[in-house]
Amino acid sequence: MSTYTIETATSRANPTPAPMRRLTVPKLQARKGGEPIVALTAYTTRMAQLLDPHCDLLLVGDSLGQVIYGLSSTIPVSLDMMCAHGAAVVRGSWHAVVAIDMPFGSYEASPAQAFESAARVMKETGAAAVKLEGGEAMAETVSFLTRRGIPVIGHVGLTPQAVNMLGGYGARGSDPKESAKILADAKAVDAAGCFAMVLEGMVEDLAIDVTRAVSCPTIGIGASAQCDGQILVAEDMLGLFERTPRFVKRYDDLAGRIGATASAYAADVRARTFPGEDQTYQRKK
Ligand code: KIV
């Protein structure tokens, strides 16, 4: 059952600003070679509300496995998780295109399996698009979905769901054979109809070659500033984790600030200075 239309305007969870017109998939697709696409991940309503005014694309990434659930990879992430977080992000956004990652095991077996999973994601979340990892092997699936009304974002290079085949999360494409394979993968999903493509963790010259070779916009993460847009995991960019990949620029130190704030709260509780007068109810005289 769909939950994304529930009206929560009276709740503190939904401080809705003046309604904005949501960007569309064709408008994002038309940004090839133009104004860079600003994208971040989001997994919760509140984070979506805060990021949405600044972003063109919010991705409910399966990185939520590590970021939200403390899993060691994206492999255990389920469709249930993606649907629940996807609906939360759609509820918290008015402007950006919201796309949802297809989790490992929900799409690789066949185009029909992918359609069934993607249709569930679209119905239950209200998102406009899905993203799936893979190149030539996924081209038929990308074409199957797009011809049936499901916009798809491709994802090539470092594909974290394939970590067991890749042997780790290092940058891809240093050897010419692997570089040629990634270029062929990108061309295949582009020709199959994806409207945008994530280029993750690859040597910069390959990211530039792919960006020139494909007709859809490329969105880089650990790729190149010459991609048609950039994406980061929001919590990485905000400095919520001490350890982040080399390609992450930490724009804040949320981990440090949250620690300091929790410490101030703990000190107040121990000193019985919280709650104070402003935070307590007195009988009306
Ligand atoms: O899962 C994710 O967050 C992603 C982005 C980092 C591109 O795939």
Compute φ and ψ for 156, nearest 5 degrees.
-130, 170
79-100: average pLDDT: 97
Q: What is the pLDDT of residue 285?
A: 84
Q: Is 42 in contact with 54 (CB distance < 8 Å)?
A: no
23: left (phi over 0), alpha (psi -120 to 50) or beta: beta
Q: What is the pLDDT of residue 21?
A: 78
Answer yes or no: 124 catalytic.
no
Total residues belonging to the chain: 285
Q: What is the pLDDT of residue 167?
A: 92
Q: For 251-266, write each residue's pLDDT tens digit.
A: 999 999 999 999 999 9
Distance CA 173, CA 95 (A): 35
Q: How far is the CA of 147 from the centre of ligand 1 (A)?
A: 24
Q: How far is the CA of 277 from the centre of ligand 1 (A)?
A: 45
Ligand 1 mutation target, pool 51, 57, 63, most atoms within 8 A of CB: 63
What global pTM score does this model have? 0.93
**Which residue has 């992000």 as its token pair?**
89
Q: Which residue has its alpha carbon closest to ligand 1 atom 8?
A: 61
Catalytic residue among 7, 200, 204, 277: 200
Q: For 108-128, write each residue's pLDDT tens digit.
A: 999 999 999 999 999 999 999
Q: Is 201 in contact with 158 (CB distance < 8 Å)?
A: yes
Ligand 1 mutation target, pool 198, 199, 219, 241, most atoms within 8 A of CB: 198
pLDDT band at 9 (very low <50, low <70, confident <90, very high): very low
Q: Is the CB of 132 under 6 A from ligand 1?
A: no
**DSSP-derived 3-state class of residue 28:** helix
Q: For 117-157, write each residue's pLDDT tens digit.
A: 999 999 999 999 999 999 999 999 999 999 999 999 999 99
Q: What is the pLDDT of residue 11?
A: 47
Q: Is the pLDDT of residue 284 over 80?
A: yes
* 271 CB-near residues (< 8 Å, 6+ apart): none
Q: How far is the CA of 267 from the centre of ligand 1 (A)?
A: 38
159-183: average pLDDT: 95
Q: Is the CB of 41 under 6 A from ligand 1?
A: yes
Q: What is the pLDDT of residue 213?
A: 98
Q: Is the CB of 63 under 6 A from ligand 1?
A: yes
Distance CA 50, CA 40 (A): 11
Q: Which residue has its alpha carbon closest to ligand 1 atom 3?
A: 61
Question: Which atom of ligand 1 lies closest to the CA of 198?
Answer: 7
Q: How far is the CA of 63 from the centre of ligand 1 (A)?
A: 6
Q: For 22-80, write each residue's pLDDT tens digit.
A: 999 999 999 999 999 999 999 999 999 999 999 999 999 999 999 999 999 999 999 99
Q: Is the CB of 157 under 6 A from ligand 1?
A: no
Long-range pairs of 13-21 with CB within 8 A, sequence gap ≥ 24: 13/45, 13/46, 14/45, 14/49, 14/91, 14/92, 15/49, 16/94, 17/53, 17/94, 19/94, 20/53, 20/94, 20/95, 21/95
Q: Is the pLDDT of residue 10 over 90?
A: no
DSSP string, 36-99: PEEEEE--SHHHHHHHGGG-SEEEE-TTHHHHTT--SSSTT--HHHHHHHHHHHHHT-SSSEEE
Q: How far is the CA of 166 from the centre of ligand 1 (A)?
A: 17
Question: Which atom of ligand 1 lies closest to the CA of 67?
Answer: 3
47: left (phi over 0), alpha (psi -120 to 50) or beta: alpha
Q: What is the pLDDT of residue 19?
A: 53
Q: How far is the CA of 40 from the centre of ligand 1 (A)?
A: 9
Q: Which residue has its alpha carbon closest to ligand 1 atom 5?
A: 61
Q: For 184-243, write each residue's pLDDT tens digit.
A: 999 999 999 999 999 999 999 999 999 999 999 999 999 999 999 999 999 999 999 988
